[in-house]
Structure 1
Amino acid sequence: MNALMEMFGDLSFTVLGFSCNQFGLQSPEVNHETLNVLKYVRPGGGFMPKFPVFAKVEVNGINEDPLFTFLKESLPFVNPVIGDIKKFYWSPIKVNDIRWNFEKFLITADGMPFKRYELQCPIEKVEIDIAEVL
């Protein structure tokens, strides 16, 4: 995500990061600890995001943030495999749910959802779409 900011950050583009603990309980930290977790643990090595990182949210289930409800309703799911539901910490599980951390959404400057990307999507495909939108 930092590389995308370096490539497009001066062109009215930004990455927005949202922490979520609904996937394997991998983000148990509290909000004020998030930047230190990124810097020292995962990915570690002094990593500092070059984009805003917001407070932890729920992206799926009964308490999902309205932003993610809107995004998921606006764009189709990108992976037909739901995955190991024992690692999911929300209910109810829906076909259009975000499947794991680092699923991405590209949104136009006027706030319209443009495209949704699965976890394993090569970043080069995202780069091409960003350039098209810009």
Structure 2
Amino acid sequence: MANKSVYDFSAETLEGQLVPLSKYRGMMLLIVNYHRLNALMEMFGDLSFTVLGFSCNQFGLQSPEVNHETLNILKYARPGGGFVPKFPVFSKVEVNGLNEEPLFTYLKESLTFVNPVIGDIKKFYWSPIKVNDIRWNFEKFLITADGLPFKRYELHCPIEKVEKDIAELL
């Protein structure tokens, strides 16, 4: 994947519109499922940084909704409490397996696994399972303003570590 960047990929919005990620050229990006990310937008959103949120149903079938239901699910159920994302949320994708989105193939090849423990494969809904697969929702990929993958964070990485890395790169 030499000479590639995230700007070579596109993502579909919840409304079905294809958005070239080159739209975010010059911005640092955090590519992730979305819990606890509004705080990062409040901290860094005015500093050439944004979060790009993606839903995925491959982990314990936790996101069975269709795209047009996603914002209501976020607001009323997961995480609920009136949550409204302050960042773009794209359509549901597969991040692992035969039908994985090319963007996530690129990210996983660029930044290999962060935890050698794959987990309970009975809760995984894809095939084949590979060593660099995303292990669970909310694994994060930090992208430089040049569109290059910088760091991969596992699910339980403290958000303060992500904040520190973003601040250092800005």
Aligned equivalent of 1:16: 52
Name the CA distance, whole Å, in 2 between partners of 1:42 and 1:101. Answer: 12
SS of residue in 2 equivalent to 1:29: coil
1:49-90 deviations in Å (ceiling 9; x for gaps): 111110000000000000000000001211111000010000
Equivalenced residues, count: 134
1:11-44 deviations in Å (ceiling 9; x for gaps): 0000000000000000000000000000000111
Aligned match of 2:102 in 59, 66, 74?
Answer: 66
1:75-114 deviations in Å (ceiling 9; x for gaps): 1211111000010000000000000000000001111000
Higher normalized strand content (fraction of residues)? 2
Name the CA distance, whole Å, in 1 between partners of 2:116 and 2:72. Answer: 34
Name the CA distance, whole Å, in 1 between partners of 2:99 and 2:59. Answer: 15
Name the CA distance, whole Å, in 1 between partners of 2:129 and 2:93. Answer: 16
Aligned equivalent of 1:31: 67
CA RMSD, 1 decimal:
0.5
Name the CA distance, whole Å, in 1 between partners of 2:103 and 2:85. Answer: 21
Using the TM superposition, give the Cα deviation of residue 118 of structure 1 relative to its aligned residue in structure 2, in angstroms: 0.3
SS of residue in 1 equivalent to 2:49: coil
SS of residue in 1 equivalent to 2:50: coil
Name the CA distance, whole Å, in 2 between partners of 1:77 and 1:133. Answer: 22
Percent identical across equivalent pairs?
90
- What TM-score do the two structures reach when normalised by structure 2? 0.78
- Structure 1 unmatched runs, 5+: none
Aligned equivalent of 1:125: 161
Aligned equivalent of 2:144: 108
Name the CA distance, whole Å, in 2 between partners of 1:20 and 1:97. Answer: 13
- Structure 2 unmatched runs, 5+: 1-36
Name the CA distance, whole Å, in 1 between partners of 2:72 and 2:145. Answer: 30
| Structure with greater contact order relative to length (CA < 8 Å, sep ≥ 6) | 2
Using the TM superposition, give the Cα deviation of residue 133 of structure 1 relative to its aligned residue in structure 2, in angstroms: 1.3
Name the CA distance, whole Å, in 2 between partners of 1:109 and 1:69. Answer: 20
Using the TM superposition, give the Cα deviation of residue 132 of structure 1 relative to its aligned residue in structure 2, in angstroms: 1.3
Aligned equivalent of 2:113: 77
Name the CA distance, whole Å, in 1 between partners of 2:109 and 2:169. Answer: 20
Name the CA distance, whole Å, in 2 between partners of 1:3 and 1:80. Answer: 29
